């Protein structure tokens, strides 16, 4: 596990964009795993700037998002598909058919999860997976207690996660109770993992992920076992590290 600490959120966003852009420049058909939430927004803004200024193209890139709320149609304003369209895809030259996000309204959930996992493998596997981290150590929507060996699957969201995400909805009751998420096994299969964390409220989760026991009680701790994992942190998120 490699730790990179930058002064603030803008600095980690810029450095993350440089890392991702460099990999795309080296391999234009890179397979990139993407996350939603507040943390990667700065990274996405810098990638958009690179593309719009003609220094980077994602025309051959393929993307796989980590997760989607169960029950939300792709065009629901709070779906992760809408989030990605608004904050990244609509502003860059990625080919829409090359962007993959679990469907929040599948006919058969188990079959949809298996098909998503197969598609990742058939596409050649994820070259770099971008992650945020939840205050309880979740990555993707893999909440504490999730088995490390699971591929894409249905999860029940922790109440703390629903409350943290309620800011995107008009009230807590609207936040879905379940989601489809890539599993910890899917994440560990990525060739490289780039976890971003900013702010003091992530410092405890980061500390346990880096220095704590590798335990299903803290899902991000599994990343200690990944051969090429980078934690890119601002000073506040890194504050508890030795
Ligand atoms: C998002 C995701 C989540 C978030 C995490 C942190 O696709 O899978 O694990 O990365 O909840 O969210 P923010 O960045 O909003 O603090």
pLDDT of the chain, 242 residues: tens digit per residue:
999 999 999 999 999 999 999 999 999 999 999 999 999 999 999 999 999 999 999 999 999 999 999 999 999 999 999 999 999 999 999 999 999 999 999 999 999 999 999 999 999 999 999 999 999 999 999 999 999 999 999 999 999 999 999 999 999 999 999 999 999 999 999 999 999 999 999 999 999 999 999 999 999 999 999 999 999 999 999 999 99
Q: Are strands 128-131 and 99-100 parallel, antiparallel or unpaired?
A: unpaired
Annotated catalytic residues are 67, 136, 138, 143
pLDDT digits (tens, 9 = 90+) for 148-201: 999 999 999 999 999 999 999 999 999 999 999 999 999 999 999 999 999 999
State the distance from the centre of ligand 1 to the C-alpha of 230, rounded, in angstroms: 17
The CATH code of the domain at 2-234 is 3.40.50.1360
Q: Where are the domains of the chain?
A: 2-234
ipTM over 0.90: yes
Ligand 1 site, CB within 6 A: 35-39, 66-67, 132-134, 138-141
- Mutation probe of ligand 1 site: the residue of 36, 157, 197, 218 with most atoms within 8 A of C-beta: 36
Residue with tokens 């945020």: 132
Separation CA 43–CA 59 (nearest Å): 18
- Mutation probe of ligand 1 site: the residue of 9, 39, 70 with most atoms within 8 A of C-beta: 39
State the distance from the centre of ligand 1 to the C-alpha of 219, rounded, in angstroms: 13
Name the CA radius of gyration of the chain, rounded.
Answer: 17
Give pLDDT, residue 89: 98
């Amino acid at each position: 596990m490699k730790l990179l600490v930058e002064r603030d959120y803008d600095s980690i966003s810029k450095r993350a964009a440089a890392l991702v852009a460099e990999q795309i420049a080296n391999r234009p058909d890179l397979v990139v795993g993407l996350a939603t939430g507040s943390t990667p927004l700065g990274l996405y803004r810098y990638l958009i700037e690179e593309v719009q200024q003609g220094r980077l193209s994602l025309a051959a890139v393929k993307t796989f998002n980590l997760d989607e709320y169960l029950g939300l149609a792709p065009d629901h304003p709070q779906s992760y598909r809408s989030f990605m369209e608004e904050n990244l895809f609509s502003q860059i030259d990625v080919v829409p058919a090359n962007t993959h996000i679990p469907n929040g309204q599948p006919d058969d959930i188990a079959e949809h999860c298996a098909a998503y996992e197969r598609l990742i493998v058939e596409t050649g596997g994820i070259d770099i997976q971008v992650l945020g981290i939840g205050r309880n150590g979740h990555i993707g929507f893999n909440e504490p207690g999730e088995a490390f060996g699971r591929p894409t699957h249905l999860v029940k969201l922790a109440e703390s996660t629903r409350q943290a995400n309620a800011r995107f909805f008009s009230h807590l009751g609207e936040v879905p109770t379940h989601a489809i998420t890539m599993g910890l096994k899917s994440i560990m299969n990525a060739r490289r993992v780039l976890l971003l964390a900013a702010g003091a409220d992530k410092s405890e989760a980061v500390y346990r992920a880096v220095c704590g026991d590798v335990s299903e009680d803290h899902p991000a701790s599994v990343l200690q076992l990944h051969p090429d994992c980078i934690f890119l942190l601002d000073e506040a998120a890194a504050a508890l590290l030795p």
